[in-house]
Structure 1
Amino acid sequence: MAYDAVVLVSFGGPEGPDDVLPFLQNVTRGRGVPPERLAEVAEHYQHFGGVSPINQQCRELLAAVRADFAANGLDLPVYWGNRNWDPMLADTVAQMRDDGVRRALAFVTSAFGGYSSCRQYQEDIAAARAAVGPDAPVIEKLRQFWDHPGFVEPHVDAVRSALAQLDPARRDSTRLVFTAHSVPISAADSAGPHGGRYTAQLAETARLVHAAAAPDLPYDLVWQSRSGPPHVPWLEPDINDHLETLAEQGVTGVVVSPIGFVSDHLEVVWDLDTEALDTAKRLGVDFVRAGTPGTDPRYVTMVRELVRERIDPDGAELRRRLGELPMWDSCPTVCCVPPRRPS
C-alpha cells in the first residue's frame, strides 16, 4: 500500500504563562479533575516560565527524523500535530490535505498500549480527520515500540551512565527503579483483545533494560504523575512513597529510569528531577535520574524502521524486537477502552 507522508503525533505543551491553564483544561476535559488540582499542576509549569519542554523536543525530533529520512532515501514529508496544544492535530491534517497528502502514517510519541497512550491517539486522529472533512487524508498509526532496540538501548545506556555517578562501594545497597505514568486501574485492566497491555509492556521494557544495564541489581517498576480524582484507584506505588519504603529497607542509592517516557518533558523534570529528588534528599538516599531517548540516533532510526516495516512488502522480516509479548500492527475498536469515569 502506498503512503505519501508521515505525521509525528504528540501530547503538546504550553509555551508561555498564558497557555498553561487553557492547556491543562484541554488535557483534563471531561475527567472530573478538581480545579485545585489544575492550579497545583499549573504552578509546576510556572517554575519553568510556563513553558513545557515537550514542544521543543518534538521540533528537535522532527528535524532529526527529516534528516534521517533524507539521508536514507525515504522520500516522505514529515508533519507534526499535537493532541492538546499548537500545532493542533486538526490544523496539521488540514495542511496535509492542502498539500495533496492522501494516505499517511502516524508515529505517536508513546511506546506503549493502553487508553491514553494509544487508543486516545487513535481517537484524536479520527477526530482531526472528521474536523477536516471528507477530503482528509487516511492516517494509520504505526505499531507500538516498547521492545524495539531503538527505544530500549538508549534507556540501557542512560541507566549505565546514571549508575556510574553513584559510589561503587555502595552498590550492594543500590537499587534500580523504573517509572511510568500512573493511570486508573480501570484503564490498566481494560477489556478487549489487548486490554491490560500497558502494565505488561512496561514490565517487559523494565526487564529488558535491567538485564542489559545492571542485572546484578534489584529493581522495581513504580508509578508517577497521578492526576485524577483522589477517590479513583490508580496504579501504585507512587515513586515518592516507594523511596520512603526503600530508605526503610536500607537502600542508600537509587537510579530512577523513566522508561514510560520518550523525552525529558515536564513530568520528568518536575515529578522526578524536582519532587522525587527532594524526597530522596530528605531521606538521605543518593538519587540519579537516567535520561530518556530524546533524539538519540538509535531512536530516530527506529522511526524510519517502523515506517519501512509498514510500507515494505516484506515488512514483517524487517521488524526488530527484543521482547516476547504479542505484537500487532493495528488495534480493533474494542481495544483499550476508556477508563470508567467517576459518577
Structure 2
Amino acid sequence: MPDALDAHPYDALLLLSFGGPEGPDDVVPFLENVTRGRGIPKERLKEVGQHYFLFGGVSPINDQNRALLDALRKDFADHGLDLPVYWGNRNWAPYLTDTLREMVAEGRRRILVLATSAYASYSGCRQYRENLAGSLATLQAEGLELPRVDKLRHYFNHPGFLQPMIDGVLKSLADLPEDVRAGAHLAFTTHSIPNASADTSGPVEDHGDGGAYVKQHLDAARLIADAVREKTGTDHPWQLVYQSRSGAPHIPWLEPDICDHLEELHGAGVPAVVMAPIGFVSDHMEVMYDLDTEAKAKAEELGLPVRRSATVGADPRFAAAIRELVVERAATESGRDVKPCALGDLGPSHDVCPVGCCPARAPKPAAAGADSPYA
C-alpha cells in the first residue's frame, strides 16, 4: 500500500464545471440557464442551440467530466490520498447547489474546489466563485451548516497540464504529410473574451493590456512551443489566437479569430497548421464545433492541411497534477513547508484570489477569495 498523503484540513474535493445538455430536449433549457438575466428570446436560443443539435443535442463535457472523476479517484487511491471527489455544474445537472447540499449532509466541512478552467478571467474564475457564493447563500437560507470552501490555484503552467498538450502537438505534427511538416505553424487557441474583461483579469497589479488572461496563455504557449522545438529540432512559428466569440459586434473582443488566422497564414504561403486548444481542459462543444467543424471547414476551403491536437482531458498526468495541487494547498493551510510546482516565467499563481481580481461588471459576492463573505 502507498504511504498516505495528507489532505488535512480538507475532507473533500469538488470538481466544478460548466455543464452541458445530454439530449435535444435539454438544449434550450440549458442555454436559458447559461444566459439567465440577459433577456435573450427563446427563438434566438434555438438558433444558438444548432451547434448542439448537430451533435444530437448532447454536449461531450459531461462524459468528459465523468472520465476525469474516474481518473482522479483512481489516482488518489493509487497514491494513498484519502479524499472523496464530488462533481457539480454551474448550468446543468448535477447542479452545484445540489452537490454542496449533498456534501454538507455527508459531513464535509472543508472543501477544495477544482474548476475546469486553468486561467485567470472573470468567466474562468470569478464567475465560478460567484456561483459558489450563490449556492452557499441558498444553503444558509435553508438553515444548513456552511462548509469552508477554497479553490485550487490556476494550473496553466503545471507540468501535468502542459505535458499532455506537448505530446498532443507532437502527435499532430507527426500526422501531417512529411512534405509540409517542417514548415507547419502552431496556432494556440483559447476562448475569446471581451478586451475589457481580459484587461482586468488577474490581480490588480496584472491589469493592463490583456491582463493575466493573455499573459498566462502566452506563457503556456511558449512553454509548449519550446518543448516541441527541443523534441523535434524544428522551430515552428506560433501565435496565440482566439475562438468562440459570442458577444455583440460593437464590443471589442480578443483577436485574431482562428479562421481569420488560417486565411492569413494561407495567404502568406504557410504549408500547414497545427491547432492546439490550450485554453480548454477537454474536447467539449466549443472545441468540437469551432475547431473540428468550422476551422477545419475553412482550412479545407483554403486547401490548407491542418491538424487539431488534443486537450488534457482525463490524462493520468493531469489527474496526478491535481493530486499534487491538493497536497500542496493542504500543506499550505496546515502551515507545513511546501514548494509549489510551476514552469515558465510567471511562477505559481495565488492560492486566494485578492480583492479586485477579475472584477465583474456588476459586483456580486464571491466565495473562496479575500473578499468572500463566507470565511
Q: Normalized against structure 1, the TM-score is what?
A: 0.95
1:106 correspondence with 2:113: yes
In the alignment, what sits opposite 1:152? 162
Amino acid at match of 2:53: Q
Extract unaligned runs of 5+ from structure 2.
1-7, 364-375
- Contact 1:17/1:51, CA 8 A, preserved across alignment: yes
Comparing 192-201 and 30-39, the one that deviates more? 30-39
How far off is 1:40 after superposition? 3.2
In the alignment, what sits opposite 2:16? 9
**2 CA distance for matches of 1:76 and 1:318?**
21
How far off is 1:130 after superposition? 1.0
Describe how 1:154-169 pairs up with structure 2 within 5 A: 154-169=164-179
Over 3 Å counting, the alpha-carbon distance change for 1:197 and 1:84 in structure 2 is: same
In the alignment, what sits opposite 1:277? 296
In the alignment, what sits opposite 2:372? none
In the alignment, what sits opposite 1:203? 218
Over 3 Å counting, the alpha-carbon distance change for 1:69 and 1:185 in structure 2 is: same
Per-residue CA deviations over 1:288-322 (Å, capped at 9, x if unaligned) read 00001111110010111110001125766342111
Amino acid at match of 1:128: S
- Contact 2:20/2:91, CA 8 A, preserved across alignment: yes
Over 3 Å counting, the alpha-carbon distance change for 1:316 and 1:56 in structure 2 is: farther
Per-residue CA deviations over 1:133-191 (Å, capped at 9, x if unaligned) read 15121110010001000100000000000000112322353111000000011100017
Structure 1 residue matching 2:175: 3-state secondary structure:
coil
Over 3 Å counting, the alpha-carbon distance change for 1:290 and 1:77 in structure 2 is: same
How far off is 1:33 after superposition? 5.8
How far off is 1:247 after superposition? 0.8
Describe how 1:198-277 pairs up with structure 2 within 5 A: 198-214=213-229, 216-277=235-296
In the alignment, what sits opposite 1:188? 198
How far off is 1:67 after superposition? 1.3
Over 3 Å counting, the alpha-carbon distance change for 1:202 and 1:94 in structure 2 is: same
- Contact 1:31/1:228, CA 8 A, preserved across alignment: no
How far off is 1:32 after superposition? 6.3
Given the alignment, which residue of 332, 335, 357 partners 1:335? Answer: 357
Comparing 308-317 and 30-39, the one that deviates more? 30-39
- Contact 1:13/1:55, CA 8 A, preserved across alignment: yes
Structure 2 residue matching 1:81: 3-state secondary structure:
strand
Comparing 286-295 and 310-319, the one that deviates more? 310-319
Over 3 Å counting, the alpha-carbon distance change for 1:112 and 1:119 in structure 2 is: same
- Contact 1:12/1:83, CA 8 A, preserved across alignment: yes
Over 3 Å counting, the alpha-carbon distance change for 1:189 and 1:339 in structure 2 is: farther
How far off is 1:234 after superposition? 0.7
**2 CA distance for matches of 1:199 and 1:210?**
16
Given the alignment, which residue of 320, 343, 353 partners 1:301? Answer: 320
Describe how 1:318-329 pairs up with structure 2 within 5 A: 318-326=339-347, 327-329=349-351
Over 3 Å counting, the alpha-carbon distance change for 1:333 and 1:86 in structure 2 is: farther
Over 3 Å counting, the alpha-carbon distance change for 1:315 and 1:120 in structure 2 is: farther
Amino acid at match of 1:210: A
How far off is 1:36 after superposition? 6.3
Over 3 Å counting, the alpha-carbon distance change for 1:37 and 1:159 in structure 2 is: farther
How far off is 1:278 after superposition? 0.1
Amino acid at match of 2:197: A
Over 3 Å counting, the alpha-carbon distance change for 1:23 and 1:78 in structure 2 is: same
Amino acid at match of 2:338: E
In the alignment, what sits opposite 1:77? 84
- Contact 1:190/1:339, CA 8 A, preserved across alignment: no
Amino acid at match of 2:228: A
Extract unaligned runs of 5+ from structure 1.
none
Comparing 26-35 and 233-242, the one that deviates more? 26-35
How far off is 1:115 after superposition? 0.4
**2 CA distance for matches of 1:269 and 1:297?**
22
How far off is 1:64 after superposition? 1.1
Over 3 Å counting, the alpha-carbon distance change for 1:213 and 1:31 in structure 2 is: farther
How far off is 1:194 after superposition? 4.4
Q: Normalized against structure 2, the TM-score is what?
A: 0.87
- Contact 2:183/2:271, CA 8 A, preserved across alignment: yes
Structure 2 residue matching 1:270: 3-state secondary structure:
helix
Given the alignment, which residue of 323, 330, 342 partners 1:311? Answer: 330
Amino acid at match of 2:340: R
Structure 1 residue matching 2:49: 3-state secondary structure:
helix
Cα RMSD between the aligned structures?
Answer: 1.8
Structure 2 residue matching 1:106: 3-state secondary structure:
strand
Deviation beyond 6 Å, 4+ runs, structure 1:
none
Over 3 Å counting, the alpha-carbon distance change for 1:257 and 1:54 in structure 2 is: same
- Contact 2:28/2:42, CA 8 A, preserved across alignment: no
Describe how 1:39-188 pairs up with structure 2 within 5 A: 39-133=46-140, 134-188=144-198
Over 3 Å counting, the alpha-carbon distance change for 1:34 and 1:160 in structure 2 is: farther
- Contact 1:175/1:218, CA 8 A, preserved across alignment: yes
How far off is 1:126 after superposition? 1.1
